[in-house]
Amino acid sequence: MTRVFAGIVAALAVATVVAMAVLWPGAVDTRVGEAIVAKADDATVLSVDEFACSNFQTEFCRQVRIRLESGEQSGRVKELVLDDGTIDPEVSEGDRLRVVRNIVPPGADPVPGREYSISDFNRQGPLLLLALIFAAAVVLFGRLRGAMSLIGLGLSLAVVLAFMVPAILEGTSPLAVAIVGSLAVMLTTILLAHGTGPKSLAAILGTAVSLVVTVSLAVLFTDMAHLTGLASEEATFLQVNDSGISLEGLLLAGMIVAALGVLDDVTVSQSSTVLALRAANPDQSFRKLFTLAMDVGRDHVSATVNTLVLAYVGASLPLLLIFSSGQIGFLEAVNLELIAKEVVATLVGSIGLIAAVPITTALAALLAQRMSQEELDAVEPHHHSH
């Protein structure tokens, strides 16, 4: 049975590689992001002084001295005039900013204090520090498995950035790209973090079947609920810029990739549970193994579904506050596509997650029944390191 499972996983891996090769994007030349991210330079705030000004919106303005850290005028000190914070952000001495040089008509001189505008804060330092703390925590807690899971995470991001995003920008079906990319990510992360043993084989097959369930439900209910993908500002921007991207397909792709994030954890946990139960008592029948592991799976699913729902609610919290302040009824708010798409994504992902438990448990029990005691002893227990 192990050889059969291994053969199916190998065939799935080959099919995924072939599909990626077929869908692999060429040289993508798109200017979709140019209107979102303008060419900006780094700058450091040297001082902030408040002064009275005759502005219709505020009585006080701020004079901000900055030193440019990049670009043609790197090293020069410039001055910005900002309002009281209702439009421009609050800045303090030492803040690192991204600033954009304003366009000056030919023959005209730059307006004092308006030569540059603040584009955003430079967040690269804090983000890098947080990433290093995360990596250290994973390695210290997970040790070798943790390090391997970090490598898997890096490869997953590489699949998303090098394959999925460019392929979608090139005009390939976002749904097809999401399915192939998700399979590639799933195979990479599970095999790297947990090896090629029976536990991984059952988890991979369980995840693949559950992914089919998730995709089917996402396609069905996106169509039934008439979700267009046009509700968000980003979607409107893509449409205005004539990107050629299927917004409905993009919505589906997002649902699939989001669901994959919890599927692999549940399937590996269930597979590991079954093998551990079989190793503890080799005389257990398939039915007994399945029943005991399902008890563990129910506890895991109840916690994970709650996590999944709260993650979507947390992401939509500002939107929920806006609707609540407008005194829109619950049913009316849920009917709006901005909310409906999150509801569909949450429920589709949760159903896929629930389906993953019996599917993976049955596959792992079937595999465990035909394993020798030596093979079971070699199976390591599962840790939540990925």
Domain ranges within the chain, ordered by starting residue: 2-30+137-377, 48-122
- Give the span between the Cα atoms of 386 and 379, in whole angstroms: 18
pLDDT, residue 385, reads 41
Q: What is the pLDDT of residues 31-89, one digit of tens each?
A: 555 545 567 899 999 999 888 876 666 677 888 999 999 988 899 999 888 875 556 78
Q: Label residue 381 by pLDDT band (50, 70, 90).
A: low
Q: Label residue 336 by pLDDT band (50, 70, 90).
A: confident
What average pLDDT does range 96-119 have in this prediction? 82
Ranking 12-21, 133-142, 306-315 by mean pLDDT, the lowest is 306-315
- Give the span between the Cα atoms of 310 and 238, in whole angstroms: 28
Ranking 55-69, 215-229, 313-327 by mean pLDDT, the lowest is 313-327
Q: Label residue 386 by pLDDT band (50, 70, 90).
A: very low
- Give the span between the Cα atoms of 361 and 300, in whole angstroms: 13
Mean pLDDT of all residues belonging to the chain: 83
Angle, CA of 234, 239 and 242, to the nearest 5°: 130
Q: What is the pLDDT of residues 254-299, one digit of tens each?
A: 889 888 878 888 899 999 999 888 888 888 888 999 999 999 888 8
pLDDT, residue 341, reads 87
Residue burial 141-172, b: 16+ Cβ < 10 Å; e: rest: ebeebbbbbbebbeebeebeeebbebbbbbeb
What average pLDDT does range 206-223 have in this prediction? 93
pLDDT, residue 101, reads 86
Output 93 or 106, whichever has higher pLDDT.
93
Is there a contact between 222 and 344 (Cβ–Cβ < 8 Å)? yes
pLDDT, residue 220, reads 95
pLDDT, residue 326, reads 65
Is there a contact between 98 and 121 (Cβ–Cβ < 8 Å)? yes
- Give the span between the Cα atoms of 201 and 378, in whole angstroms: 15
pTM to 2 decimal places: 0.77
Ranking 21-30, 32-41, 131-140, 182-191 by mean pLDDT, the lowest is 32-41
Share of the chain above pLDDT 70, in %: 86
Q: Label residue 247 by pLDDT band (50, 70, 90).
A: confident
pLDDT, residue 258, reads 85
Ranking 44-48, 136-140, 319-323 by mean pLDDT, the lowest is 319-323
Pairing outcome for strands 77-82 and 96-101 = unpaired
Q: Tell how far CA 41 is from the center of its chain.
A: 28
Is there a contact between 206 and 363 (Cβ–Cβ < 8 Å)? yes
pLDDT, residue 316, reads 74
pLDDT, residue 240, reads 61
